[in-house]
Amino acid sequence: MLLKSFFENKKVEELANTLLGCELVHESSEGTTAGIIVETESYHETDEASHSYKYRSKRNEVMFGPSGHVYVYFTYGIHWCFNIVAEPEGIGAGVLIRALEPTQGIELMKKRRNKQDVLNLANGPAKLVQAMGISKADYGKPLYKGKLYLNKAESKGVKIAFGPRIGISKAQEKPWRFWIEGNSFVSGRPRP
DNA sequence: CTAATGATGAACT
DNA sequence: GTTCATCATTAGG
């Protein structure tokens, strides 16, 4: 699994970039599920759209902590999203995982999601949280230690594309969304 | 205490 | 492509 040093000494957008192609693994009591990260977005405290913008609060305080920890948040009344904290303690930054390509425990994911279509298991922020069995219980946990962790990118030479983020009502000017070019598990396709 | 808001998904036409 | 479900967190009084 990737160690603490992987998350350190990287800018948030750099981490978002490096995370593409890595495998996210969760060993739960129901079984192990895993998937390749194919889409990310980066957020920083200087960015108006970020939860960590301007001040810290009870919800986002883990984003100001050391990098490599898990930030899980709830939105729109029913949806959970999964983030990885980036940059050193004191800086509120993180990478939102937007989509996964399932690799292990696909049957379990289908059961959790109550869907049969593999393409539709984890191609969205709240979907992958459900498919992986991640919950608020994982909030603040380190990714370099424990049952939820990352494996190094297996394939080299994947094409990385980037563009504006999705679902932001303010500050959409930063091209801080990254995805693997041509991967069909990426949520949505930006227009040229 | 009360009201507005939102880094979305599913179902539908 | 469009509509709406649904609630923790936040800001304001």
Q: What SS3 state is found at A13? A: helix
> Is strand B within 7 Å of residue A48 (CB)?
no
Instruction: List the A184 CA – C13 C1' distance (angstroms).
Output: 50
Q: Which nucleotides of B are covered by protein (CB under 7 A)?
A: 6-10
> Is strand B within 7 Å of residue A110 (CB)?
no
Residue A96 phi, psi (nearest 5): -85, 125
CA nearest neighbour of A128 among A192, A186, A45: A186
Mind listing the pLDDT tens digit for each residue in A14-33?
Answer: 999 999 999 999 999 999 99
pTM > 0.85: yes
Distance, CA of A111 to CA of A31 (rounded, Å)? 12
Four-CA torsion A86, A52, A69, A38, nearest 10 degrees: -60
Mind listing the pLDDT tens digit for each residue in A49-88?
Answer: 889 887 778 888 999 999 999 999 999 889 999 999 999 9
- Which distant-in-sequence residues (6+ apart) come within 8 Å of A138 by Cβ? A70, A72, A148
Specify which residues A85 forms β-bridges with.
A94
Q: Which nucleotides of C are covered by protein (CB under 7 A)?
A: 5-11
Instruction: List the A126 CA – C3 C1' distance (angstroms).
Output: 19
Distance, CA of A63 to CA of A72 (rounded, Å)? 10
User: Strand ranges (DSSP E) for A105-187?
Assistant: 148-151, 160-163, 177-180
Mind listing the pLDDT tens digit for each residue in A114-137?
Answer: 999 999 999 999 999 999 999 999
Residue whose CA lies closest to nucleotide B10 C1': A127
Instruction: List the A108 CA – B7 C1' distance (angstroms).
Output: 26
Report the Cα A56 to chain-centroid distance in Å.
20
